[in-house]
């Protein structure tokens, strides 16, 4: 049985570092994560782990905390609609405003990479070759461990059965001797992965045409959510678009984003340049 003050200590620490909220009713979800850390740090029990973290948190300990406290659920072409909206509406709209510009996209909570790779497979499959040539994707996450998987571009049989159409599996993946599947270099080489904490990172200004920020803000409180949304707004170019997750919205968030609906899918647009 883990003492309540140990749960509270780790819940507060996680909130402090990643903004993820674990309320008292959610403590049961922390139980196995705390026990995993007991094994990993080879301490006697959860109380000893508490004292270890209370004394000093090294960067390695922080990385472990980020790795174990995050929910990395993701899959290829998650919810499908965003990827259709991207190629059928958003990119053609942006091309009118930024013709021949290199297209900069950011997947800012990319987990194991399925999201940025799905973005690039969509652009390569559905748009003329010029669009793919002009696109580059930055992809980031708070968890070092999940980024290692993303960078490897290697997925097991279960991963490739989730959301990935068979023709795209055949077109973009090679099966390795282990039975796993590796995504084509053509796609991989277009993604630059890096570690980035949405709460504490230094956001670039006016850099991206499109930002995917999906299924990460659901774990944040209103204050953090609001800060992240407003940073994303600044990181977009004028007229740029933000995608949120299915079921996520800007309700109760104050921002300058304009809601745009395309075939039933809501996306969010930064104010256009005065001349547009």
Ligand X SMILES: C[S@@+](CC[C@H](N)C(=O)[O-])C[C@H]1O[C@@H](n2cnc3c(N)ncnc32)[C@H](O)[C@@H]1O
- For ligand X, the binding residues (CB under 6 A) are 18-20, 70-74, 78, 109, 111, 115, 141-143, 146, 196-199, 214-216, 245
Name the residue nearer to ligand X (CB basis): 46 or 155: 155
Nearest-angstrom CA–CA distance, 58 and 64: 10
| Distances 255 to 61, 109, 115, 248 between C-alpha atoms, Å | 35, 20, 25, 15
| Torsion on CA atoms 190, 188, 18, 233, rounded to nearest 10 | 20
CB of 115 to ligand X, least distance (A): 5
Name the residue nearer to ligand X (CB basis): 46 or 188: 188
Name the residue nearer to ligand X (CB basis): 71 or 133: 71
Nearest-angstrom CA–CA distance, 60 and 83: 36
Q: What DSSP letter does each residue of 41-55 carry, written as one string? A: TT-SSHHHHHHHHHH
Tokens coding 229: 């949304």
CB of 224 to ligand X, least distance (A): 8
Q: What DSSP letter does each residue of 215-249 carry, written as one string? A: SSGGGS-HHHHHHHHHHHHHHEEEEEEEEE-TT--
Task: Look up tokens 């021949």; give the residue.
Answer: 100
CB of 4 to ligand X, least distance (A): 24
Name the residue nearer to ligand X (CB basis): 47 or 72: 72
Name the residue nearer to ligand X (CB basis): 78 or 190: 78
CB of 276 to ligand X, least distance (A): 29
CB of 114 to ligand X, least distance (A): 6
């Amino acid at each position: 049985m883990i003492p309540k003050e140990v749960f509270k200590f780790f819940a507060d620490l996680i909130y402090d570092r990643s903004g993820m909220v674990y309320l008292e009713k959610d403590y049961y979800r922390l139980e196995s994560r705390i026990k995993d850390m007991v094994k990993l740090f080879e301490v006697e029990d959860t109380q000893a782990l508490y004292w270890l973290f209370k004394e000093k948190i090294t960067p390695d300990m922080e990385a472990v905390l980020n790795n174990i406290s995050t929910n990395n659920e993701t899959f290829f072409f998650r919810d499908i609609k965003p990827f259709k909206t991207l190629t059928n509406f958003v990119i053609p709209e942006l091309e009118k405003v930024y013709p021949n510009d290199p297209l900069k996209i950011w997947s800012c909570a990319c987990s194991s990479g399925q999201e940025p790779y799905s973005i690039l497979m969509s652009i390569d499959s559905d748009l003329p070759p010029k669009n793919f040539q002009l696109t580059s994707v930055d992809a980031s996450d708070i968890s070092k461990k999940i980024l290692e998987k993303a960078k490897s571009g290697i997925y097991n049989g279960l991963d490739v059965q989730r959301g990935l159409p068979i023709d795209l599996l055949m077109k973009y993946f090679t099966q390795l001797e282990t039975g796993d599947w590796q995504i084509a270099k053509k796609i991989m080489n277009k993604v630059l992965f890096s570690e980035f904490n949405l709460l504490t990172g230094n956001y670039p200004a006016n850099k991206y045409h499109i930002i995917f920020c999906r299924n990460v803000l659901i774990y944040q409180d209103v204050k953090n959510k609001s800060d992240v949304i407003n940073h994303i707004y600044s990181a977009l170019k004028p007229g740029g678009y933000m995608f949120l997750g299915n079921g996520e919205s800007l309700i109760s968030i104050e921002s300058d984003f304009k809601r745009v609906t395309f075939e039933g899918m809501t996306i969010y647009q930064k104010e256009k340049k005065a001349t547009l």
